[in-house]
């Protein structure tokens, strides 16, 4: 894995553990020679991931929609011009396509609605065969306990096929998660399944 997309929030929670975690993730990836591809902002966990990687001389590629580059005085994101590369794209759709194109996998750390959007798109695209890359969730502080339980529930009910119930690789430890992601074996996507079994 030469580069990983890191999905996380642009907010700064009151609990300092979240920012510390984001810095640690960025620093760890850089120390392992793994480039960071992320949302291109300098705020919240996003900015902390980038700062952690840059402090260790890591590669950081930011991808940010034009509308979010300068902020708007109402909580708008501000582009991080300290990145190794900063790509400004026209839309959120282009941003997510670039995440997938430039990365060898996805690491999801705590975040909000945008992070959920990115996670589920990565999972959905894996199911459909648009990529065959590992999707990792770092379940720090139990943040994703309920999401992971809901993902299991979808499988139990029958909305996620047995072959796809392991797409999300979750772990509470970053080193362990990265090891499991590196050992990832692509699943059989829906488009390659026997239509009689769908």
What is the 3-class SS of 126-193, one letter each residue?
HHHCCCCCCEEEECHHHCCHHHHHHHHHHHHHCCCCHHHCCCEEEECCHHHHHHHHHCCCCCCCHHHC
Domain ranges, ordered by start, for the chain: 3-197
Q: Which of 54, 16, 176, 153 is nearest to 107 (CA)?
A: 176
pLDDT of residue 197: 65
Tokens of 69: 């580059």
pLDDT tens digits, the chain, 198 residues: what are they? 999 999 999 999 999 999 999 999 999 999 999 999 999 999 999 999 999 999 999 999 999 999 888 765 555 558 999 999 999 999 999 999 999 999 999 999 999 999 999 999 999 999 999 999 999 999 999 999 999 999 999 999 999 999 999 999 999 999 999 999 999 999 888 888 777 666
φ and ψ at residue 32, rounded to 5 degrees:
-85, 0
* C-beta separation of 39 from 62 below 8 A: yes
Q: Between the CA of residue 35 and those of 23, 118, 184, what are the distances in Å?
A: 14, 19, 18
Question: Domain 3-197 belongs to what architecture?
Answer: 3-Layer(aba) Sandwich (3.40)
pLDDT of residue 191: 81
Q: What is the pTM of this model?
A: 0.93
* C-beta separation of 170 from 139 below 8 A: yes
Greatest alpha-carbon span in the chain: 54
């Amino acid at each position: 894995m030469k580069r990983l997309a890191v999905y996380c929030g642009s907010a700064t929670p009151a609990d300092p553990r979240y920012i510390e975690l984001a810095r640690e993730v960025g620093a760890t990836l850089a120390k392992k020679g793994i480039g960071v591809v992320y949302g291109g902002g300098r705020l919240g966990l996003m900015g902390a991931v980038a700062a952690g990687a840059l402090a260790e001389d890591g590669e950081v590629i930011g991808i940010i929609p034009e509308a979010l580059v300068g902020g708007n005085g109402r909580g708008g994101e501000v582009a991080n011009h300290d990145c190794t590369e900063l790509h400004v794209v026209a839309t959120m759709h282009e941003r997510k396509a670039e995440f997938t194109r430039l990365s060898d996998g996805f690491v999801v750390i705590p975040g909000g609605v945008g992070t959920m959007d990115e996670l589920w798109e990565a999972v959905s695209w894996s199911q459909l065969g648009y990529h065959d890359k590992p999707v990792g969730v770092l379940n720090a502080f139990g943040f994703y306990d309920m999401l992971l339980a809901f993902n299991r529930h979808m499988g139990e009910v029958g909305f996620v096929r047995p072959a796809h119930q392991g797409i999300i690789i979750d772990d509470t430890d970053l080193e362990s998660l990265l090891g499991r992601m590196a050992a990832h074996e692509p699943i059989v996507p829906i488009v390659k399944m026997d239509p009689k079994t769908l």
